[in-house]
Amino acid sequence: MRSGKHWAALAVALAAAFVAESAFAQANNNGGTNNTTIIGNVPAGVLVSPDGVLRVKQFADKTGQLARTRAAEARAKLGADLAKPSALRKISLNRLEAAIAERLANGQEPTEEMKNLAGLTRLQYVFYYPESKEIVIAGPAEGFMALQMGRVIGVESGRAVLELQDLVAALRAFPPAGKQTHLISVSIDPTAEGLKAMQQWLNEISGKVRPGDASAIVAGLKEKLGLQNVTVEGISPRTHFAQVLVEADYRMKLIGIGIEPPPVKMATYVSRANPTEVSRNALQRWYFTPNYDCVRVTEDALGMELVGQGVKLIGANELVAADGGRVAAAAGSQASELYCKAFTELYPQIAARNPVYAQLRNLIDMSVAAAFIQKQDYYGQSGWKADVVLDEQQYPIETYEAPKTVETACTAIWKGSRLMTPVGGGVHIEPTDALQTSHLLKDDQGLVKAAHAEIKLGGLDKNQWWWD
């Protein structure tokens, strides 16, 4: 039996997160048919240990009975008004903070209603009202319930609910005065030492790989690459906001390399990859980024609407040097391009089936909204300093373990006579880019202005911070 000496290392990333892949040219002994081995589990969430290692966690609810029970309990617990679906629920940020401040002053935590922003499932509008000096956010809403891992979703649609702690994290990135956060990002990167050890090991086993060696190859790659580093920029890594970014990054990668089944039928990287087009040291990076053409603003700048699906997946190429360093490459990967295109086009359906991607969309929307509030100086116009929620001592949100490393995820897949072994690692958000003149959409038909005008604040009770 002849065996070749072709292999490849591929690093895949969202923002700057890399996934190493090796492909070995190997004559197989199965008569030319494809023999596919997939190693790994389907995660439902992630956990971060006290030492900062992120791992996947599964939860079983095959019949959906647990979710139905939780939904029934939530409907019974929530008040009728809060549980009722609303096409456009409004929240005054000024009033919400005042209500939170009152509870904290009395030694009480914010209510579940506050923590889950009255069940908003999407942030659609941001409005400012000069007469009452109030900043209002609005969007569709419904009753909500908590799933395993604490993920909160709507009881009717199953879509992820916006959370107060995430909105606060976004506002802290764009506060009334001081810093302006240009970049919010997560990357999961193999170390240069790990990549070098992997390259050396691949050289050692070149020409010795057989179809039955898939499990050993996976174990070897995990050992040589070791733990990969997690880097969070622009926000505290100890926030729920950061954990959602890391989970969305990590699980998108698992889908791409074939470990986690996609929530909808779609092209993945491994399903389309052709090992012959992957060179020995080729790397591929994947990024989640906002669709920056997502903001429609009124002429008087008193209102904005977030439009479109908001998220896209893009790719870029790099090469791995012998010492584990990375440099730009010219050639692209058709399989990677197809994966990015499929994920982007199907993002609404993916988010509807897997709440973490709806959460990612919510985080992006909240970041753009916070940047808009800061840019238009709604803080100054309203006199709202947000002293309570922007102060970690008064309202702590940095209560999570910071993810520092993640276990290498790997699968082994035979494609014809070649064994591909993709190894698993960002999210890259520049909220202010969505507010550049070149990206802003005009309110030509006056729909955002009309939505602004329809909202009335005069009849609200003193302590009422949300309404339909």
Residue by residue, DSSP assigns 152-195 as EEETTT-PBPP-HHHHHHHHHHS-SSS-----EEEEEE--HHHH
What is the share, in percent, of the chain residues with pLDDT greater than 70? 74
Q: What is the pLDDT of residues 61-113, one digit of tens each?
A: 555 555 666 666 666 677 778 889 999 999 999 999 999 999 999 999 999 99
Mean pLDDT score, 190-207: 82
Whether the predicted pLDDT of 2 surpasses 50 = no
Distance CA 8, CA 47 (A): 31
97 or 229, greater pLDDT = 97
Distance CA 364, CA 311 (A): 8
* pLDDT at residue 282 in the model: 47
**Contacts for 92 with CB less than 8 Å, ≥ 6 apart:** 134, 135, 136, 457, 460, 465, 466
446 or 196, greater pLDDT = 446
CA 332 from chain center: how many Å? 24
Tokens 């057989």 identify what position?
A: 210
Tokens of 189: 């990167």
**Contacts for 70 with CB less than 8 Å, ≥ 6 apart:** 145, 146, 147
Q: What is the pLDDT of residues 240-285, one digit of tens each?
A: 999 999 989 888 888 888 888 899 999 888 888 776 554 444 456 7
Task: Kindly report the number of other CB atoms within 10 A of residue 232's CB atom.
Answer: 23
Question: pLDDT grade, residue 385 (50/70/90)?
Answer: very high
46 or 467, greater pLDDT = 467
* pLDDT at residue 260 in the model: 87
Whether the predicted pLDDT of 27 surpasses 80 = no
* pLDDT at residue 406 in the model: 87
* pLDDT at residue 165 in the model: 97
Question: pLDDT grade, residue 32 (50/70/90)?
Answer: very low
User: In this structure, are residues 152 and 190 in contact, taking their beta carbons and an 8 Å threshold?
Assistant: no
What is the share, in percent, of the chain residues with pLDDT greater than 90? 42
Most confident by average pLDDT, 98-107, 152-161, 183-192, 405-414: 98-107
* pLDDT at residue 296 in the model: 95
43 or 468, greater pLDDT = 468
Q: At what angle do helices 240-256 and 164-173 cross, to 10 degrees?
A: 100
Report which secondary-structure segment, H or E, holds 318: strand 311-320
21 or 173, greater pLDDT = 173
**Contacts for 32 with CB less than 8 Å, ≥ 6 apart:** 416, 417
Cα→Cα distances 211→132, 420, 463, Å:
71, 11, 68
Mean pLDDT score, 214-234: 86
Q: What is the pLDDT of residues 435-464, one digit of tens each?
A: 988 889 999 999 999 999 999 998 899 889
Distance CA 40, CA 409 (A): 8
Mean pLDDT across the chain, nearest whole number?
A: 79
Task: Kindly report the number of other CB atoms within 10 A of residue 437's CB atom.
Answer: 5
User: In this structure, are residues 283 and 319 in contact, taking their beta carbons and an 8 Å threshold?
Assistant: yes
Distance CA 67, CA 322 (A): 50
Burial class (CB in 10 A: 0-12, 13-18, 19+), 11: buried
Q: What are phi and psi of 244, to 5 degrees?
A: -65, -40
* pLDDT at residue 109 in the model: 95
Predicted structure pTM score: 0.83
* pLDDT at residue 38 in the model: 24
Pairing of strands 295-297, 441-442: parallel
Most confident by average pLDDT, 128-132, 154-158, 278-282, 289-293: 128-132
Question: pLDDT grade, residue 56 (50/70/90)?
Answer: low
368 or 316, greater pLDDT = 368
Distance CA 345, CA 326 (A): 30
Q: What is the pLDDT of residues 388-438, one digit of tens each?
A: 999 999 999 999 999 998 888 777 666 665 656 555 447 888 898 989 888
360 or 69, greater pLDDT = 360
User: In this structure, are residues 8 and 282 in contact, taking their beta carbons and an 8 Å threshold?
Assistant: yes
Distance CA 375, CA 432 (A): 9
Whether the predicted pLDDT of 53 surpasses 90 = no
* pLDDT at residue 396 in the model: 97
Mean pLDDT score, 221-238: 90
